[in-house]
Amino acid sequence: MKCRFGNLFAVSLFVCGAAHAQFVVDQVDAIQSDEDIRVQVDLDLNLTDATERALSHGVPLIVVHEIALNQRGWLWSRIEQRTSVRYRLRYHVLSGRYLVDSNEAVLNTFRSVSDALEFIDSTSVTFDVSARHADHSVAVRSRIDINALPAPLRPTALFSPQWQLSSDWSQWPINELSTN
């Protein structure tokens, strides 16, 4: 009996460890000029075995980068503007290449999934602003859009830690453009 519990414990550690691929916000550079705020986001995106297996079997993955311009208040922050950038990552079986597209236009093709993720993990957006607020910040997160998966796969994805790929929201300050 003791050996069975030990094996069960080892298997549970293996399963939990395999699900630890994550999306991480590495760096955000937000620079404000007179009329806008330019945001450059760099992420570290890693897929789990389940998501890579589904991708290689023809299931497209939608990666969403959400970026919000926040104004800090006394008790809480208020979202002033919000945008999202959506990338569809899919595997083309006949060519053996990974395709990345946005708004149905193919942006690029890659030989490996890691090369495709490296392309997706950097994005930039611009917010139009009318006045400088010292208490602005930028919040960023990235995630897999589980609702965009094929219907038969959604229940599994909703409850499996292998499919819970999402970074936490992270706050970043806004730097003012120096005009030296």
What mean pLDDT is reported for the chain?
Answer: 83
Task: Give pTM, 2 decimals.
Answer: 0.81
Find the range with the poorest average confidence among 8-22, 82-96, 97-111.
Answer: 8-22
Which sign, positive or negative, has the C-alpha torsion 61, 151, 165, 96?
negative
Residue 95 pLDDT more than 70? yes
Find the range with the poorest average confidence among 55-59, 61-65, 132-136, 170-174.
Answer: 132-136
Question: Which pLDDT does position 157 carry in this prediction?
Answer: 94
- All domains in the chain, ordered by first residue: 20-176 (2.60.40.10)
Interval 73-98 mean pLDDT = 87
Question: Which pLDDT does position 34 carry in this prediction?
Answer: 77
- Interior angle at CA 144, CA 72 and CA 148, nearest 5: 115
Share of the chain above pLDDT 70, in %: 82
Decide if 69 contacts 83 (C-beta within 8 A): no
Per-position DSSP letters for the chain, written without gaps between them: -HHHHHHHHHHHHHHHHHTT--EEEEEEEEEE-SSEEEEEEEEEE---HHHHHHHHTT--EEEEEEEEEEEE-SSSEEEEEEEEEEEEEEEETTTTEEEEEETTEEEEEESSHHHHHHHHTEEEEEEE-SS--TTEEEEEEEEE-GGGS-GGGHHHHHH-GGG--BPPPEEEE-EEPP--
Comparison of pLDDT for 2 and 172, the residue scoring more: 172
Comparison of pLDDT for 49 and 15, the residue scoring more: 49
Question: Which pLDDT does position 133 carry in this prediction?
Answer: 62
Residue 53 pLDDT more than 90? yes
Banded pLDDT at 162 (limits 50, 70, 90): very high
Interval 118-145 mean pLDDT = 84
Question: Which pLDDT does position 123 carry in this prediction?
Answer: 87
